[in-house]
Structure 1
């Protein structure tokens, strides 16, 4: 570690209001890795969510961040970090902490450093309905009446009934769904047709990453979005003729720096953009607000699922999610 910068790492736990269920399992708390980077005068903060789907554990990610002490040149600037550390949760926490440190040290907001000339606008975020029976998901959809955009977690068998039940319960809502790689090839055609009949706007990652080639050239009325199939810019060529959109997440991209570059590359390639996040706190979604400006779909409801959040938090008002104050991040 250089004499100029020091950092600290911790594993923190935030309980959820209710269990969060997807096709791979359930969780009752958000387990995140937090990092602070200090130059002695100012301190930048970052947060990431290790994801077991990619072989990450909180302990592994915390260790990877701590290992940067042996390679301090990686913290010289964000470009050095991008070049010298692989994409993933560990790099995300450090990259976002460097953005925050730069903002606090310079007095120039991170959003302005990212090219946003005005204020960061609030966003209409998806509110996620955990995977459950059609009846229970319909009940939850009704209970989420303050949200105009709902995101269903799907799991394969029974998904047509789930989509139909939620649509019947919420004829007023915009709907998207995330299959989390749970569909088989035989399901794709009829399930996408059912999604179209129910007025869904988007289906995320129906097939497993690396086994989604049947989507190439497949006729479909509902746009299909790559999530697990796209992490960084290098993944775009493989999905251009399979997907209509990409879900960009800071933890997958390895930070705001790469995520912004991926967003621009995706748009140039003609892909639409969703900005997502893991189940995490307002510290994790604060930088994602920059990325989300102008995105077609935004899924930053992680803090809304918590029973305890960071202070000051992002806030929901009139159906819009507002970014947390700059004293938290940026």
Structure 2
């Protein structure tokens, strides 16, 4: 079966700038791929991995590199060996999932062997900004029951941020994401602060490549890997250093590897989280399929886009629900 391949870029501008450790994000540009057999057309969206320079030009070069194999009708398993983990493989893999769903009349969740999707509690993310700005944005999360707060690696400033959010919303499940911001000497005082403030999860406290700083640390709360674990190989490499792995399809290269990572994480006794690199409902849909198998869900990307109505009504009462008709067969 031969396939046609087209792709386009989308600026994916955010309605407000978003600050994390080391970055101020105004947009998360994406590549949207369409694969067709002449009758059915599957779609996939990827933002890549910004901290690895996996941007739209790089993703497009990767797609062109494997165009002959794609046009010849390569399947998902074949794609795994053609491209490394990253945005290009994610967009193509997700497009192949939707194409198969349409060709067979079978929902993607059923093809993937996961339970029929149900609404999931999702975190809504606050930037690493000054407390007044954080609280202003928090006012928009009226229905949220789970909040993720970005930290910047300055313990004094981050203490103010955590305390401000907890004082305003003592009721929510609260996690923090350091985005690689801290060093070894910060870990104990940071953990003490988080335990005192009832924070449930610490995500990515140290830099990618410095995971050895966690060796032997008896953390008093669960620690999640994001930047430190991109794919299945890195999941195995860092076992024993983290309690939870944050699986993002842009990092691991698509739903196919994401499902394999969930299975391997469970085998290793790890918790599983699903996140995204911002993006539209199209990029959220395959993550939502994976969310049915996860302990923590962080799929708030469409909420932050500038386009009016970009979230397509998928958020209600602190939960996310992506109906199947947004991607594949309903």
- In 2, Cα distance between the equivalents of 1:156 and 1:45? 38
- Which secondary structure does the structure 2 equivalent of 1:150 belong to? strand
What's the CA shift string for 1:227-272, capped at 9, x where partnerless?
Answer: 1111111112332211111000000010000000001100110110
Is residue 67 from structure 1 mapped to residue 62 from structure 2 by the alignment? no
User: Which residue does 1:179 correspond to in 2?
Assistant: 178
- In 1, Cα distance between the equivalents of 2:72 and 2:182? 40
- In 2, Cα distance between the equivalents of 1:310 and 1:8? 26
User: Which residue does 2:283 correspond to in 1?
Assistant: 284
- In 1, Cα distance between the equivalents of 2:313 and 2:77? 28
Q: Are 1:34 and 1:45, in contact at CA under 8 Å, matched by a contact in 2?
A: yes
Is residue 146 from structure 1 mapped to residue 143 from structure 2 by the alignment? yes
2:42 counterpart (19, 44, 47) = 44
- Does the C-alpha gap of structure 1 residues 103 and 296 become closer, same or farther in structure 2, counting only changes over 3 Å? same
- Does the C-alpha gap of structure 1 residues 127 and 327 become closer, same or farther in structure 2, counting only changes over 3 Å? closer
TM-score, normalised on structure 2? 0.94
TM-score, normalised on structure 1? 0.94
- Does the C-alpha gap of structure 1 residues 308 and 222 become closer, same or farther in structure 2, counting only changes over 3 Å? same
- In 2, Cα distance between the equivalents of 1:123 and 1:293? 8
User: How far did residue 140 of structure 1 move?
Assistant: 2.7
User: Which residue does 1:113 correspond to in 2?
Assistant: 111
- In 2, Cα distance between the equivalents of 1:195 and 1:138? 18
- In 2, Cα distance between the equivalents of 1:309 and 1:192? 39
User: Which residue does 2:5 correspond to in 1?
Assistant: 7
How do residues 23-102 of structure 1 correspond to structure 2 at under 5 angstroms? 23-72=21-70, 75-102=73-100
CA RMSD of aligned residues (A): 1.8
- In 2, Cα distance between the equivalents of 1:96 and 1:310? 23
- In 2, Cα distance between the equivalents of 1:240 and 1:120? 29
Larger displacement relative to structure 2 (303-312 or 54-63): 303-312
User: How far did residue 135 of structure 1 move?
Assistant: 3.2
- Which secondary structure does the structure 1 equivalent of 2:325 belong to? coil
User: Which residue does 2:124 correspond to in 1?
Assistant: 127
- The runs of 5 or more residues in structure 2 that have no matched partner are none
User: Which residue does 1:261 correspond to in 2?
Assistant: 260
Is residue 197 from structure 1 mapped to residue 226 from structure 2 by the alignment? no
- In 1, Cα distance between the equivalents of 2:275 and 2:308? 18
Q: Are 1:73 and 1:80, in contact at CA under 8 Å, matched by a contact in 2?
A: no
- Does the C-alpha gap of structure 1 residues 54 and 314 become closer, same or farther in structure 2, counting only changes over 3 Å? farther
